[in-house]
Amino acid sequence: MKNAIYLLTGGIALALFAAAPARAAMGGCEAVGGPVNFITSFANDWTKEQNVAGTLIDMTSGTTSGGSYKMVCDCPANTGVNLYYSATTPLASSGYSGFQKLNDNLDIKTVITDVPGVSALTVPTNINSPVRGEGYFKAANDNGVCNGDPDDQRAGAFTVGSNISITFRVSRPFLGRMEIPSTHIATLQSAWSSSTAYAKGVFKDLADIYLQGSITVPQSCKINEGDIIQVNLGNINASRFITKGQRPEGYTPIQFDINYDCGDTSTIKNTLFMQIEGEDVVDDYSLVARRRESDNVPDVGIQMANITVSNNLIPFHNGLITLDSSGIGHSRMQAYPVNLIGGQLQPGPFKGTATITVVVR
């Protein structure tokens, strides 16, 4: 019997696995109790030369209120993290690079300037360009921000978002005082990452940023070249001046012009008015021209009408005369005396005084 020797060859299979790199953990961070409100208030005066379409003007003298906030991130307790910041805005783009539409006259560019180690966080922030704040946060370092970190090892209060830089762009010139009501201009958001890889798509809200204030643009207007407008109502026969609330019988009102020059306002959206304020009035439409010596009762008044516009009577308290949109022109007026008490009046002179001021609305 032959012995057969069988040689068995075996293959040794080697399974080689390439270990995938550890993926950075990341998530969102928010203010405890919800986003805090930071409100920047300001009052700026601009020159007429600044009030030109396309001009860029930095906000000055702003003050911010709002306090601080505690931050909590959805990372496991005792995790060491980097903090990232981003910003959004509810304002629509103005079409001019980096600026949003604040109102019909102004565009606005907002930059958050107090992110630690970062000079400027633009608003809005590109989704692929959040910024990493300075510092590394971990409970073991007594600056933890993760949910579940012990209270005595947590970071203190944050104020990031309370300092901003504002640049205005004039889209349409305006005059007078513009009031800017409290307007939500930006929201600061934050996220965490366990490595230097930036967080993406996980940001949560920390603070809402508001702007409120006023901007005043003066406008130089000349009324009657700066001279006093004198209207001589003439001599009146007392016997024809007896009906209460009426002008003398047969009296022809005296016509005169109020000339004004406010420069070229054709590009201004605002409406300009001349405001009439009587020095002494008995009612809205009657300027006191004389008071009786015996009892100080007004007996002679003056009324004034704008014959450029339907012969309307002009009040002597907050009386408004609309100026031409060009800013240059005149209003044709007429004035006449009225008997305020009825019956024949004592002879003697009378006069009334009113002030004309240009106002912008």
Residue 283 structural domain: 222-360
Same domain, 113 and 182: yes
Same domain, 190 and 231: no
For residue 302, the model assigns a pLDDT of 97
What is each CA distance from 138 to 76, 134, 143, 207, in whole angstroms? 11, 13, 6, 22
* Residue 203 within a domain: yes
Same domain, 201 and 348: no
Among 85, 97, 95, smallest CA distance to 161 is for: 85
> What phi and psi values does residue 200 have, to the nearest 5 degrees?
-145, 130
Q: How far is CA 118 from the centre of its chain?
A: 28
Q: Model confidence over 75-86: pLDDT tens digits?
A: 999 999 999 999
Beta-bridge mates of residue 158: 69
* Residue 7 within a domain: no
For residue 11, the model assigns a pLDDT of 37
> What phi and psi values does residue 273 have, to the nearest 5 degrees?
-130, 155
Q: What is the CATH number of the domain that holds 92?
A: 2.60.40
For residue 49, the model assigns a pLDDT of 87
CA dihedral (312, 316, 317, 319) positive or negative:
positive
Choose the weakest-confidence range: 30-39, 71-80, 218-227, 254-263: 218-227
Same domain, 53 and 160: yes
> What is the C-alpha to C-alpha distance for residues 326 and 117, in angstroms, rounded to an integer?
51
Same domain, 75 and 177: yes
Q: Model confidence over 150-178: pLDDT tens digits?
A: 999 999 999 999 999 999 999 988 888 89
Neighbouring C-alpha atoms within 13 Å toward the C-beta of 49? 0
| Structural domains in the chain (count) | 2
The secondary structure of 340-357 as a DSSP string is: SS-SPPPP------EEEE
> What is the C-alpha to C-alpha distance for residues 322 and 285, in angstroms, rounded to an integer?
17
The average pLDDT across 115-138 equals 95
**pTM across the whole model:** 0.68
20 vs 321: which has the higher pLDDT: 321
Most confident of the ranges 46-50, 106-110, 319-323: 106-110
Same domain, 196 and 50: yes
Same domain, 213 and 229: no
> What phi and psi values does residue 74 have, to the nearest 5 degrees?
-85, 40
Neighbouring C-alpha atoms within 13 Å toward the C-beta of 165? 11
66: which residues sit within 8 A by CB, 6+ positions away?
36, 37, 38, 39, 162, 207
Q: Cis ω on the peptide bond leading into residue 124 (within 30° of 0)?
A: yes
Q: Model confidence over 271-309: pLDDT tens digits?
A: 888 999 999 999 999 999 999 999 999 999 999 999 988
Question: In which band, very low, low, confident or very high, does the pLDDT at 101 lie, cut at 50, 70 and 90?
Answer: very high
Q: What is the CATH number of the domain that holds 303?
A: 2.60.40.1090
For residue 357, the model assigns a pLDDT of 87
The secondary structure of 214-229 as a DSSP string is: EEEE----EEGGG---
For residue 162, the model assigns a pLDDT of 96
* Residue 339 within a domain: yes
For residue 1, the model assigns a pLDDT of 39
Same domain, 116 and 212: yes
* Residue 9 within a domain: no
Question: In which band, very low, low, confident or very high, does the pLDDT at 311 lie, cut at 50, 70 and 90?
Answer: confident
The average pLDDT across 179-193 equals 97
Report the chain's mean pLDDT, rounded to a whole number.
90
* Residue 350 within a domain: yes
The average pLDDT across 313-337 equals 93
The Cβ of residue 13 has, within 10 Å, a number of other Cβ atoms equal to 5
Same domain, 37 and 182: yes
> What is the C-alpha to C-alpha distance for residues 184 and 47, in angstroms, rounded to an integer?
27
> What phi and psi values does residue 33 have, to the nearest 5 degrees?
85, 5
Residues above pLDDT 90, as percent of the chain: 74
> What is the C-alpha to C-alpha distance for residues 168 and 53, in angstroms, rounded to an integer?
11
Choose the weakest-confidence range: 57-71, 125-139, 159-173, 183-197: 57-71
Question: In which band, very low, low, confident or very high, does the pLDDT at 19 lie, cut at 50, 70 and 90?
Answer: very low
Residue 7 scores a pLDDT above 70: no
